[in-house]
Amino acid sequence: MLFPVTYRVNAAGHMEVGGCDLTDLARAHGTPLYVYDEETVRQKCREYMAAMGSAGHVLYSAKAFASPQFLRIVAEEGLGLDVVSAGELHIALKSGFPTDRLHFLGNNKSWEDIDAAYRAGATIVIDGFQEFGVLERIVPDGKRAPVMLRLSPGVKPDTHDHIATGQLDSKFGFSIESGAARRAVEQALAHPNLELIGLHSHIGSQIFALGAYEKAMAIMLDLLVQLHDELRYEPRMLGAGGGLGIAYTSQDDPPTPRHFVETIRGALDAGCAARGLKVPQLVVEPGRSIAGPAGVALYTVGSIKDIPGVRRYVAVDGGMGDNIRPKLYGARYEAFLASGPDRPSEAKVTIAGKYCESTDILITDIEMPALETGDVIAVPAAGAYCLAMASNYNGMPRPEVVMVRDGDARVMRRRETLDDLLAAELF
């Protein structure tokens, strides 16, 4: 599914999401504009929650996209939240996110991060040996902080190298293969201020081939047998991470959230039965597959440059400042003319951004209908890791963000002003 679930072409022949005509939204709010469809967010959350049932917990991964109104919807749907910094935690707390459903991850947490996580009552997912010492100083005598350990199961999923995390050569987690995981468990169990409630893993992102999760689960469960036999330790929770891929182009056909959860649950249940282990609660933490399909980015066409026999550049009013993914890991997108998505293609064009970098290209070589300056272009599947990684490069204010539902568009984040660019500067 490339578009949000409420997407349709309306009577005017325009693209519509959440009952709102995208050309009207662009006119009313300006561009670049990020449009989130509330129904898509809720449906994705519900699909995860229904598939999980009472077998465990679904946490939304705030790094994909976090804003107070968005997080409130996620909380209403009953999900927990995974955060990776005191900043993301701050957004969650200010949004009123229930604190009993927070997990705090990160491969190099600062003292401030760990202190904030402990004070918020979050489950801290320890990622390196130095965190044991920090926690000993932060957690008062006689108290125990609930923690998990992030393990690296040594599985390399079928995804871009830059978003694979579970292999041996990774900055994340205690490696099972090297023996670090086993040592970390021993250290956590002996620690006076920690309650080791579980073990966690996350093998990567934008994954379509779910077999990698089954492999990772088998490796984790083999470790559990060792921990049970040698240390008498059985985790209450086992984390399989997030990482389910989404469709960025009409050729992409990713598994559904239900399929993702059912595959991992199947591997967990069967793997525990085969090894005589008690089945722990499963934790998954999807980000992209909840926020990604819900978001559509709108841009306005500005300059059009023809280099005969070479290429036609169609420049839009955003680019790498609001969506770095094409440059960061070669992400491929599709674009549509908001006032006529079904119009026949006229030419192959390259959609360029407005940032002063030759590499600021959103989409290379895409068939588009005839385009003119002032046309609005819609890029679907833009809800995750776009705004979350947005910058003010070139002194460009970050875009406005709206949430649409039943013909109504609520501003979630206003467009930044030029003065916002100076908000932290001292004169």
Ligand X SMILES: Cc1ncc(COP(=O)(O)O)c(C=O)c1O
Q: Which residues carry out catalysis?
A: 356
Q: Which residues bind to ligand X, rule: CB under 6 A?
A: 61, 63-64, 82, 105, 202, 205, 241-244, 285-289
Nearer to ligand X, 313 or 329 (CB): 329
Nearest approach, Cβ of residue 216 and ligand X (Å)? 13
Maximum CA extent, the chain: 75
Nearest approach, Cβ of residue 135 and ligand X (Å)? 19
Tell me, letter by letter, the H, E, C secondary structure of the chain. CCCCCCCEECCCCCEEECCEEHHHHHHHHCCCEEEEEHHHHHHHHHHHHHHHHHHEEEEEEHHHCCCHHHHHHHHHCCCEEEECCHHHHHHHHHCCCCHHHEEECCCCCCHHHHHHHHHHCCEEEECCCHHHHHHHHHCCCCCCEEEEEEEECCCCCCCCHHHECCCCCCCCCEECCCCHHHHHHHHHHHCCCEEEEEEECCCECCECCCHHHHHHHHHHHHHHHHHHHHHCCCCCEEEEECCECCCCCCCCCCCCHHHHHHHHHHHHHHHHHHHCCCCCEEEECCCHHHHCCCEEEEEEEEEEEEECCCEEEEEECCCCCCCCHHHHHCCCCCCEECCCCCCCCCEEEEEECCCCCCCCEEEEEEEECCCCCCCEEEEECCCCCCHHHCCCHHHCCCCEEEEEECCEEEEEECCCCCHHHHCCCCC
Nearer to ligand X, 173 or 353 (CB): 173
Tokens 């709108």 locate to 298
Nearer to ligand X, 31 or 159 (CB): 159
> What's the Cα-to-Cα distance from 394 to each of 264, 303, 327, 363, 399, rounded to whole Å?
44, 18, 16, 20, 14
Nearer to ligand X, 294 or 351 (CB): 294
Give the residue from 369, 363, 374, 373 showing the smallest Cα distance to 323.
363
Nearest approach, Cβ of residue 247 and ligand X (Å)? 14
Nearest approach, Cβ of residue 61 and ligand X (Å)? 4
Nearer to ligand X, 6 or 61 (CB): 61
Nearest approach, Cβ of residue 292 and ligand X (Å)? 8
What does the alpha-carbon distance between residue 27 and residue 224 come to, in Å, rounded to a whole number?
57
Give the residue from 277, 297, 192, 261 showing the smallest Cα distance to 227.
277
Nearer to ligand X, 64 or 114 (CB): 64
Nearer to ligand X, 287 or 319 (CB): 287
| Residue pair 36/43 in contact by the 8 Å Cβ criterion | no
Nearest approach, Cβ of residue 25 and ligand X (Å)? 26
Nearest approach, Cβ of residue 259 and ligand X (Å)? 14
Nearest approach, Cβ of residue 157 and ligand X (Å)? 10
Nearer to ligand X, 50 or 273 (CB): 50
